[in-house]
Amino acid sequence: MLRRNPRTHRGRLGIAATAAGLLAALLTATPAGAVPGPGDIPEKKISSSAQAEVEAAIESGEIPGVDEIVHSDNIEHVSNTPKDLLPGTNSDLAFQGDYAFSGNYDGFKIFDIKNPKKPKVVAQVLCPGSQNDISVSGDLLFLSTDSSRSDDSCNSTTQPVTEKSSWEGMKIFDISDIRNPQYVASVETACGSHTHTLVPDRDDVYVYVSSYSPNAAYPDCQPPHDGISVIKVPTDAPETAAIVNFPVLFPGEGELGGGNPGSPVNPGVSRTTGCHDITALPSRKIAAGACMGDGILLDISDPANPKVIEQVQDNVNFAFWHSATFNTDADKVVFTDELGGGGMATCNAEIGPNRGANGIYDLVGKGRNLELRFAGYYKIPRHQAETENCVAHNGSIVPVRGKDIMVQSWYQGGVSVWDFTDSAHPKEIAYFERGPLPNGAGGGTWSTYWYNGYLYSNDMAKGFDVLKLNDRRTNQANGVHLKGLNAQTQPEYFKR
């Protein structure tokens, strides 16, 4: 049974404002998931009276206190491992066997999670580069660099993107010795690598690199940049990894290319200049892409040559198409809208339930004649304070036959477990969150994924959390065992 959270019903803290200092911090020292675009809410400084209102709400119990943990009765907080030698922003997660791999803007960390109640750090690798989106396949670990660096080494320093010699792209590590990862290869990619997606193909792994926001002043990130970089990695010779294709996903004329033109044609919508994230479903040979102003489906039957087979837009409520997740039956796709780039307070009454939310699309048709049909929105019902950056972010399916259930991060909105079996009427069934960070700081949980009976969450500021979901609607998932999980390479949970 859910504990009643007064924020579901409160109205006085639903203010659509964010401190200028919060946004600046998120985009520099602790960057958010995406660079804010035209869908951003105009930033305002929090007035002393507004800050006092938040403090009064904490004092009255209307919202949790600073750093206070609250959760529904059906979630247990199993453990927390604070950040240690890598003080940067925690980002994405990947899993293999009894290990969890945690991305961090300063590098990555490897946890032994054989006992989820007591995760053990077995390796920490210092290798700065923003995002450090992470995936694992066999003995290889892949790391995205989406900031302009002086070179491709782990000792690089920041360097202006206008410098031709600057580097950003993919890094590859050998983790055959799990306690001593070795850097083995790098591949520079146009506009860097914000995120990446692994597509296995026999003895090779293809890497789809998503990046965006070109500029004529950037030598290695020229407009229109309306596609993705495809890297081929021979698993027995990863040092030979190289770009094999740059498929144009949004063909069009001129510097803008194709895709959503964004503002001012579609006010408040990001112009499509690449993709933010792609989720592959290798068992069906399809992928779903979240590409700034567009949502797409891809045919990946030829991994080196992905082709767009469906394209949708939502120019009313979606500002920035951020990520995608298939349900277990592959007849639905959940797209997330990262309104405000992850650095603003959007989980409040003023913004409402449809912006900064998930869009649920039913997938109809057969073969390559697939269509995406909008069915409904989902947003957490727990309104957050104006100091809390909150918006839909990374999550995964909780594998239950006959049900569509997802766990998902919402930055300072915490972790939400929600049921979208009825696409038009999704509902939250469990949650975990902390109260506001001190002094209006930005943070919260970046990624939360189900893996072999537990929920693993990477909090940008607080570290690595392990949660246990105890609910009759989801307990069936405890019988599912995966050998590994990269959320952007979605497994087939149940054999068809």
Res 37: pLDDT = 54
User: Could you give the CA distance from residue 14 to residue 17 in angstroms, rounded to a whole number?
Assistant: 9
Written as six digits, the tokens of 465 are 């959390």
- Measured from the Cβ of residue 482, the count of other Cβ atoms closer than 10 Å reads 14
Q: Domain segments of the chain: what residues?
A: 6-485
DSSP 17: -
Report the SS3 class of residue 24: helix
The burial of 365, by beta-carbon neighbours within 10 Å (0-12 exposed, 13-18 middle, 19 or more buried), is given as middle
Cα distance between residue 58 and residue 40, in whole Å: 27
CATH architecture entry for 6-485: 7 Propeller (2.130)
Q: Is 135:486 a contact under the CB 8 Å cutoff?
A: yes
How far is 206 from 496, CA to CA, in rounded Å?
25
Q: What is the pLDDT of residue 84?
A: 86
Q: Which amino acid is at 99?
A: Y
- Asked if 77 and 465 count as a contact pair (C-beta separation under 8 A), the reply is yes
What is the pLDDT at residue 34? 58
Residues sharing a CB contact under 8 Å with residue 149, sequence separation 6 or more, in sequence order:
128, 129, 156, 157, 158, 159, 166, 167, 168
Angle, CA 324 vertex, CA 482 and CA 285 arms, to 5°:
65
Name residues of the chain where pLDDT drops below 70. Answer: 1-50
Between CA 33 and CA 447 the distance in angstroms is 10
Cα 388 from chain centre: 18
- Give the sign of the dihedral formed by CA 443, CA 449, CA 451, CA 455: positive
- pLDDT of the residue at 48: 67
Quick one: pLDDT at residue 35?
52
